[in-house]
Amino acid sequence: MSSKRSVAKQIAALPFHWDKNGKLRVLMVTSRDRGRWIMPKGWTMDGKKPWQAAKIEALEEAGAVGYVADQAIGVYHYKKKLEKGRSVICRVTVYPMVVDKLKRRWKERDERKRHWFSLNKAAKLVEEPELSDLLRELARDTKKLTELNDLRLVA
């Protein structure tokens, strides 16, 4: 028997930039529990648009400052462990973020590590299959991310 489980909504930022060699890099952070590589993510926030909440998460979890698009580039699901052995399925909507700078000091700097990776390397490091697929898809076609960067430069 399977019971109907509700799906919790979360948002994530996919912080990225082009390095000095012109290679696209994405910024990943470690989770606080087991040190898994993840994107900065969190719960939706009352009074904030989803992409605004994603921007806040990127600042708090990774110290990333930049431009977040209001159009999502994908969705993935994962099982979040809660207290007392409970868990919930989360649907994470991903918003791309062009990183302008990284802060040296940020809210969760003592709780997480951050690192730039290629999309393919990030896809290999994450545990969530749907997130891995999304990162691989972006690696095959960086057009969405390039267009976002170009839009930001014009705006």
Residue 148's pLDDT is what?
73
Tell me what the mean pLDDT of segment 10-35 comes to: 94
pLDDT grade for 1, boundaries at 50, 70 and 90 = very low
Residue 3's pLDDT is what?
47
Taking residue 96's Cβ as centre, other Cβ atoms within 10 Å add up to: 25
Distance CA 83, CA 128 (A): 21
* pLDDT tens figures, 47-84: 999 999 999 999 999 999 999 999 999 999 999 988 88
The backbone torsions φ and ψ at residue 65, rounded to the nearest 5 degrees and listed phi first, read: -120, 135
Q: Is the pLDDT of residue 154 over 70?
A: no
- The closest alpha carbon to 37, from 134, 137, 142, 128, belongs to 128
Residue 4's pLDDT is what?
55
How far, in Å, are 103, 130, 145 from residue 148 at the CA level? 22, 22, 5
DSSP-assigned letters across all residues of 49-87: -HHHHHHHHHHHHH-EEEEE-SS--EEEEEEEE-GGG-E
pLDDT grade for 152, boundaries at 50, 70 and 90 = low
Read off the amino acid at residue 127: E
Whole-model pTM: value is 0.90
Residue 143's pLDDT is what?
81
Residue 47: strand, helix, or coil: coil
